[in-house]
């Protein structure tokens, strides 16, 4: 018993004695422990940013209203409990998302909860180039973009100016998405980023039905495409001989007269047009919500 006590005392004395060995071990512990702890903590709780749905479209289309509805958490209607959503947070724009508002939505399915961000991108007028920079391949990858919801006011599309603004903006967004995959070898194609054209304000009797919104936008994009590629086709240059740069700036199937959203499939971009309404009586936002939840 006494010898055990003596042994313990000896050990204590050795440990506390200021020998070089003790100093060395002490220094190593002091230096390495924080590093070790850091890696342990980082590994056990990796910070993963949630995937993003980008919300774009001409001004007054209803983006803010949709975001507010997401934030309030009343989407969709109570009928689908498995798809019930509520927004848990509305964060102030961070440095990486300046001038954009964010809603953090929670998809609530039977088996898992998935958080995702819905980022409203103001894209009218002077902010257009700023908005389009968010559709560059690097920015999309950075934001973990899983889809784009392009909101349009279906009741305003009969107005030529509004149609030109909406069509021009959608053209730019689709071209950016096309460039993301064009020319990339099949094995390296990045994850698809589909587009939902949300034909909003379906509660208004002047609103065009989804099929008409689709054909109206396609016709407008055909017009934009023809004017932007001025003379490219008229010059008599055949599709085969045209330089890569020109074909690169052409949205959809090269050389076609009419643009159709299905032409985007070749570039791994699915486009769907779905009607709905954020306010008033109508189908509401259920289908848009389901689309978003399916993509994240």
Kindly state whether residue 59 participates in binding ligand GDP, applying the rule CB under 6 A.
yes
Q: Which distant-in-sequence residues (6+ apart) come within 8 Å of 194 by Cβ?
A: 147, 148, 269, 270, 271, 272, 295
Kindly state whether residue 108 participates in binding ligand GDP, applying the rule CB under 6 A.
no
Distance set, CA 293 to CA 71, 201, 247 (Å): 15, 21, 34
Q: Which of 62, 147, 194, 275 binds ligand GDP (CB under 6 A)?
A: 62
Q: How buried is residue 47: exposed, middle or buried, by Cβ count under 10 Å (0-12/13-18/19+)? A: exposed
* Window of 53-61, 141-149, 189-197, 248-256 that interacts with ligand GDP by CB under 6 A: 53-61
What character string, x for contact with ligand GDP (CB under 6 A) and - otherwise, covers 151-180? x-----------------------------
Kindly state whether residue 90 participates in binding ligand GDP, applying the rule CB under 6 A.
no
Q: Which of 50, 64, 73, 182 binds ligand GDP (CB under 6 A)?
A: 64
What is the token pair recorded at 219? 């016709």
Residue whose CB is less far from ligand GDP, 204 or 233: 204
Minimum CB separation of residue 122 from ligand GDP in Å reads 8
Q: How buried is residue 204: exposed, middle or buried, by Cβ count under 10 Å (0-12/13-18/19+)? A: middle
End-to-end CA distance of the chain: 67
Kindly state whether residue 279 participates in binding ligand GDP, applying the rule CB under 6 A.
yes
Q: How buried is residue 144: exposed, middle or buried, by Cβ count under 10 Å (0-12/13-18/19+)? A: middle
Cα atoms found within 13 Å of the Cα of residue 186, Cβ hemisphere only: 1
Kindly state whether residue 123 participates in binding ligand GDP, applying the rule CB under 6 A.
no
Kindly state whether residue 215 participates in binding ligand GDP, applying the rule CB under 6 A.
no
Kindly state whether residue 63 participates in binding ligand GDP, applying the rule CB under 6 A.
yes
What character string, x for contact with ligand GDP (CB under 6 A) and - otherwise, covers 225-244? --------------------
Q: What are the residues binding ligand GDP (CB under 6 A)?
A: 57, 59-65, 151, 200-201, 203-204, 277-280
């Amino acid at each position: 018993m006494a010898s055990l006590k003596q042994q313990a005392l000896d050990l204590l004395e050795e440990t506390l004695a200021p020998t070089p060995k003790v100093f060395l071990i002490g220094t190593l512990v002091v230096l390495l422990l924080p590093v070790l702890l850091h890696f342990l903590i980082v590994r056990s709780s990796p910070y993963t940013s949630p995937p993003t749905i980008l919300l774009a479209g001409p001004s007054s289309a209803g983006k803010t209203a949709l975001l507010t509805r997401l934030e309030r958490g009343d989407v969709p209607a109570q009928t689908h409990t498995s798809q019930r959503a509520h927004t848990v947070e509305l964060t102030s724009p961070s440095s990486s998302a300046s001038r954009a508002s964010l809603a953090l939505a929670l998809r609530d399915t039977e088996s898992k909860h998935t958080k995702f961000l819905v980022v409203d991108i103001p894209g009218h007028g002077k902010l257009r180039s700023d908005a389009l920079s968010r559709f560059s391949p690097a920015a999309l990858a950075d934001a973990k973009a899983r889809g784009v919801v392009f909101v349009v006011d279906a009741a305003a599309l009969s107005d030529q100016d509004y149609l030109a603004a909406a069509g021009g903006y959608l053209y730019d967004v689709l071209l950016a998405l096309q460039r993301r995959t064009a020319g990339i070898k099949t094995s390296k194609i990045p994850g698809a980023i589909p587009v939902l054209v949300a034909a909003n304000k379906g509660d208004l009797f002047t609103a065009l039905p989804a099929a008409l919104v689709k054909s109206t936008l396609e016709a407008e994009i055909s017009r934009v495409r023809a004017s932007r590629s001025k003379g490219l086709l008229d010059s008599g240059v055949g599709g085969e001989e045209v330089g890569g740069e020109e074909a690169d700036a052409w949205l959809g199937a090269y050389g076609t007269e009419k643009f159709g959203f299905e032409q985007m499939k070749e570039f791994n971009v699915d486009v769907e047009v779905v009607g709905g309404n954020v306010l008033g009586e109508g189908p509401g936002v259920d289908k848009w919500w389901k689309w978003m939840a399916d993509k994240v």
